[in-house]
């Protein structure tokens, strides 16, 4: 059950919801009651899938970004767009950065970044962040 909870927290943390998957992962690693490698895999998988949801939202709802109910604010999209214009698809390595990272994955979808490029770069960034947490705690 704890792995499913970590997956859900990590998934939601990759959306606009204010969850801290790093703290959850660090706390579980610190308890030493669970398989640390499995915790790392579950957190990474959940967080990457949350970013995929953002990419899909951007890719399939380009004309919905101005709607009041849309989960990302225009200022977040604009800030992330600036990063994207400056660094191109390589900015996706920073999809883990708070505030900018989640809208960045949405912008990647809006700009129709190839899914394979998206998933590789996002995975590298997000797994690297979790590895750092893992090695700092373990």
Helices (H), the chain: 2-13, 21-31, 36-60, 74-87, 101-110, 115-137
Can you tell me the mean pLDDT for 50-61?
A: 90
The tokens describing 32, both together, are 């030493």
Q: Provide the whole-model pTM.
A: 0.84
Which pLDDT tens digit goes with each residue over 61-102? 766 767 777 777 777 777 777 777 888 899 899 888 877 788
> How far apart, in whole angstroms, are the C-alpha atoms of residue 7 and residue 25?
10
Q: Return the pLDDT at 121.
A: 97
Reported as a pLDDT band with limits 50, 70 and 90, residue 55 is very high
Q: Return the pLDDT at 62.
A: 65
């Amino acid at each position: 059950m704890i792995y499913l909870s970590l997956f859900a927290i990590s998934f939601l943390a990759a959306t606009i919801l204010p969850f801290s998957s790093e703290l959850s992962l660090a706390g579980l690693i610190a308890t030493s009651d669970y398989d640390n490698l499995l915790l790392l895999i579950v957190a990474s998988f959940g967080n990457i899938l949350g970013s995929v949801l953002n990419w899909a939202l951007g890719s399939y709802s380009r004309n919905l970004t101005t709607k009041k109910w849309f989960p990302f604010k225009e200022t977040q999209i604009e800030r992330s767009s600036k990063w994207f214009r400056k660094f191109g698809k390589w900015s996706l390595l920073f999809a883990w950065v708070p505030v900018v990272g989640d809208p960045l994955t949405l912008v990647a979808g809006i700009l129709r970044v190839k899914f394979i490029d998206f998933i590789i770069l996002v995975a590298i960034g997000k797994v690297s962040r979790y590895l750092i947490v893992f090695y700092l705690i373990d």
